[in-house]
Chains A and B, each alone.
Chain A
Amino acid sequence: MITEKSDQDVSVVHEIVGRCRDIEGNLIKILHQVQSHYGYVSEAAIKEVADLLDLPTAKIVEVLTFYNFFKLHPPAKHNVAVCMGTACYLKGGETVRENFNNALNIKDGETTSDGLFQVEAVRCVGCCGLAPTVSVDDKVYGAATKKDVEKIIAKYSNE
């Protein structure tokens, strides 16, 4: 489940750990910053954090896999997050998800072969007023219809 990529430059991990070394309970804070920089937490980064904090690798993997937010695989260029909060679910979030999966021909959690899109279902993003919503990278869209979905994909395909 952990992606091999041992040649990753982990110098930033050193900086991050250095910055957070004296903070109590710093592990999640460090992992957040690692993910924010690299887009995910690689095996190389995990080993580096373990070494620098003198913790077993298992301990770090344990925390990483407990929380939904952490990614162990490199992200696609655009991350499509279909909201599956209650309001979105009631207003057809399931269909939005199907529409994205069909249009991109991938299942949840998969990445398109060109590495452009990844689709995942997420918990409420707090925009229930616009339900059903989808966020692409950090931007939130109301995506009630199939046409909206097509438009969103077209927009990001050309970027």
Chain B
Amino acid sequence: MKRLTKEDLLNAKKDELAEESKEWINVGYSTCGIAAGAQEVLDVLRDEIKKRNINIPIKTSGCVGKCYAEPLVEVCVDGMPRVFYGKVNKNVAIQIIDEHIGQKKLINDHIYESDTIAKKVVFVQDTDTGKKKRLRDFCSAFTDSLKKFDLEGKVEIVRVADSGVYNRGIVVRIFPDDFLYSGVSNDDIDRIIEDSIVGSKKIDSLICGLKSKQLRIVLRNCGIIDPEQIKDYIAHDGYRALAMVLEWDDPEKVIEEIRRGGLRGRGGAGFPTAVKWGFARNEKADQKYIICNADEGDPGAYMDRSFLEGDPHSVIEGMIIGGYVVGASKGYFYVRAEYPLAIERIHKAIKQARALGLLGENILGTSLNFDIEIRLGAGAFVCGEETALIASVEGERGYPRPRPPYPSVKGLWGKPTVINNVETLANVAILIYKGGDWFSKIGTETSKGTKVFSLTGKVKNSGLLEVPMGTTIEEIVSDIGGGLIDNKNIKAIQTGGPSGGVIPTELHNTPVGYESLQKLGSIMGSGGMIAMSEDDCMVDIAKFFLQFCVDESCGECAPCRLGGPQMLKILEKISEGKASLEDLDKLRQTSMVMQNASLCGLGQTAPNPVLSTLKYFEEEYKMHVIEKKCLAGKCKELVSYAISIKECARCGLCMRECPVDAITGSKKEGFVLDDEKCIRCGRCFEACKFGSVVRY
């Protein structure tokens, strides 16, 4: 491979850097995609293409974010719109080859995203769940009406799996004009055909005003480019920011640009990146370092994994620019060992970047020297804390050190060190390329740009999303997440993982930002966002997170080492119905000590999940303490089960499920549950299809 120079990147037109095929099939091939069966889909597609002698390249990419729809296949062929098919199995893969590519026909029930279509096509979806018959009736009525207008066979009706709109009745999207209607009933059909299909006229009363809340800036390449091909990244304006920076030949200008953009650390604390870089730049030292913190420890968050699997070069480019600005010639990727695919892709990316002269000596033909080494984490949450991380890179136990001195003054091996989170670094290149002014227009007054969240838990559309800062939690959960599974009521959203807190429903109109979430007693954190329903007990959630921090406490300082287990004991007492109201005060007191006296962020923030649940759900705590009840049914000691003879269908499933033979009886006489023997595992309750096992 020929080494590139900065002029190559600055002057070249896109197509000179990489010839891109106009047609392709792209299989989402990230950890979640593979877990959902992407390998089988890939094999089938390759087989079928070969069998039929079709000349369309099949490529693989990272995660596009729609984890709920994996495995995903993007198809772009002549004469058809670019479409993302989701929940693709072997049969759908064959359909893609036969129908989509062969007969140029769209496939029902699997379209999750589509470009505008130039032909007369109608997309339909029932966005309320569990209404299959309603949609069937609607489609047949639509077909009948088309006959009436003599349009049979001239307009294609396609049932789609995801129209990007949720819980708004039947949704109809009409091409080629791309009108999106929601809440459509059978009575509207004739009008739609007459006005919008025949007449290309918009019907204002049906228009669905909802616009996509997502803005994909950092995730722009994820799921689109092949992360294992550096040319793909370069063809998408990759490494141009680096070339621009080298052309400016002025590190201060880079810092100024980032300051103007208002970029703040995406790891959670939100420290201004320009200031951090400035500190390290101003230090005089023979050696400086830049470290990418990819030790994504928050259980329930996987943004970093997706960046590294889907677009590793954007992070590398950010690191090179950072290295140039602060004067570091060496960078480290500190990655979780639990992310093997991400590690493999970074390895490949670094190798390819070296081959093209983007890493190593004389980068892009200039005097810049910078190289990157990968260091694996080994499963310690505390290593997300920057001083502990440094100790771990040095090959030691991940013990945090008191600050100051801050790493930017005295870090890795005592040298000035910048530690940036993956997402922060992924923001750098695009900020430079498009300019600080452009960047600062996105977001709120104090929180600029976008934020990537991994929305999981009880939400329908579990996945990765990117929204401008300032988007409300409600918009994220309802408009992107599609609300909760089984249309359950949302009880709270948890952000920031074990260091964060819960936010109750009444505050979901809060716009996301560093300060706004902090004000509520939570934090933005690295981007984990977990939806909880009325089936989730807040005491149990607090216990879960605190248990995590107790397990992960390194044991160095007393407040964290001793305070955590004490609080955990109290929470256990509460969930067993053995606590008194005084215990709630003790929780608050111990929290305060931990917050004020712990050495590092882990101990200082560990009480947050307890304090925030206590703040917003004190009644639920009191219910556990005073009435000895857990309404969500999670605290085993506080629930009892019984079989309601009246509703019992006498199937005997509960008896078969019971692991301790607490249920006895026969199909003739019915079944009874012995409360003394019952271990409250809830299996009978889950198993009963007739609702006759009751929990109280």
Contact = CB atoms under 8 A, between A and B. Distances in A.
Given A124-B300, A140-B35, A32 B378 contact: yes
Contacts of A141: 35
B526 to A, nearest CB: 12
Nearest to B67: A129
B305 A126 contact: yes
Nearest to A123: B299
B567 interface: no
Interface stretch (B197-205, B350-358, B450-458): B450-458
Interface in B393-421: 393-398, 413
Contacts of A155: none
Interface string B456-467: 111000110000
A84 B548 CA distance: 10
B298 interface: yes
Interface in A53-86: 62-63, 66-70, 84-86
B375 A29 contact: yes
A156 to B, nearest CB: 16
Interface stretch (B47-55, B137-145, B176-184, B337-345): B337-345
Contacts of B300: 85-87, 124, 128
A130 interface: yes
Interface string B97-122: 00000000000000000000000000
Nearest to B69: A129
A102 interface: yes
24 contacts: A27-B395, A27-B396, A28-B378, A66-B397, A67-B380, A69-B337, A86-B530, A87-B462, A90-B458, A90-B532, A102-B659, A123-B381, A124-B298, A124-B300, A125-B31, A126-B31, A126-B302, A127-B67, A128-B301, A128-B456, A130-B35, A130-B36, A138-B340, A139-B35
Contacts of A29: 375-376, 395
Interface residues on B, range: 35 or more
B554 A66 contact: yes
B457 A140 contact: no
A127 B378 contact: no
B652 interface: no
Q: Is the interface of A mostly helix, strand, loop or mixed?
A: mixed
Interface in A105-141: 122-131, 133, 138-141
Interface residues on A, range: 35 or more
Contacts of B162: none
B251 interface: no
Nearest to A68: B379
Nearest to A135: B35
A66 B398 contact: yes
Contact of B375 (A28, A62, A91, A126): A28
A86 B528 contact: yes
A26 B68 contact: no
Interface in B502-532: 528, 530, 532
A89 interface: yes
Contact of A123 (B32, B338, B463, B532): B338
Contacts of A130: 32, 35-36, 67, 70
A93 to B, nearest CB: 10
